[in-house]
Amino acid sequence: MVRQWKQVGIPMILILMLVISGCCLKRKAPESGLPTTTVAQAPEVQETSSPAEPVVAENVLEAQAKKAGALQSIYFDFDKYQLRPNAKEKLDRTAKWLSENRTVKIRIAGHCDERGTDEYNMALGDRRANSAKNYLVNMGIPSDNLSTISYGEETPADPGHDEAAWAKNRRDEFRITE
């Protein structure tokens, strides 16, 4: 009988001890009424006195730009930041539209495909955005009206993992900021 107790009792005591110790280690989250999940920080937004006005104005401006063939995405060859001839044509239309709308400011966002390290792709996206910016400055657009940002491979236009998707992801995009 003592032998059976050792075979069954000791393992049960060990399991019971583990369960009890596990319960003691759990800490209750403070009751704040807020969710305890981690949330990514939203990008910083500048406040305006009337938030509806800039949105409407930007939509009108974007529609005008689209009608003029301006602010179209441009694409790059693999591992390159030199502008293709068709990219220059699109930038020429963008420069013409921006010269007619001197108060408009735009952000040029450089993107890459998923190949390469994060650091390399951030740098390549930056070179791509600056390549378009420099072209527009050479066309007479004030540098103060143009800003750049690199997203590297973080925001793909196509989530695929083949050459067709990668070709869509190697791009610059243009957005009105003011």
Can you spell out the DSSP letters for 24-36?
A: HH--PPP--SS--
At 178, the pLDDT band (50, 70, 90 cuts) reads confident
Structural domain count, the chain: 1
Check pLDDT > 60 for residue 72. yes
Torsion of CA 139, 144, 150, 155, to 10 degrees: -90
Q: Determine, yes or no, domain membership for 25.
A: no
- pLDDT, residue 59, reads 85
Whole-angstrom distance, CA of residue 74 vs CA of residue 92: 12
Tell me the CA distances in angstroms from 173 to 16, 33, 73, 106, one per residue in order.
Answer: 61, 40, 5, 10
User: Is 118 a domain residue?
Assistant: yes
Q: Grade residue 43 by pLDDT with cuts at 50, 70 and 90.
A: very low
- Amino acid letter, residue 23: C
pLDDT digits (tens, 9 = 90+) for 2-40: 555 556 666 667 675 655 655 444 444 444 443 443 333
The SS3 assignment for 20 reads: helix
CATH number for the domain that contains residue 122: 3.30.1330.60
- pLDDT tens digits, residue range 50-67? 444 445 566 899 999 999
Let me know if residue 99 belongs to a domain. Answer: yes
Q: Which structural domain range is residue 162 located in?
A: 81-176
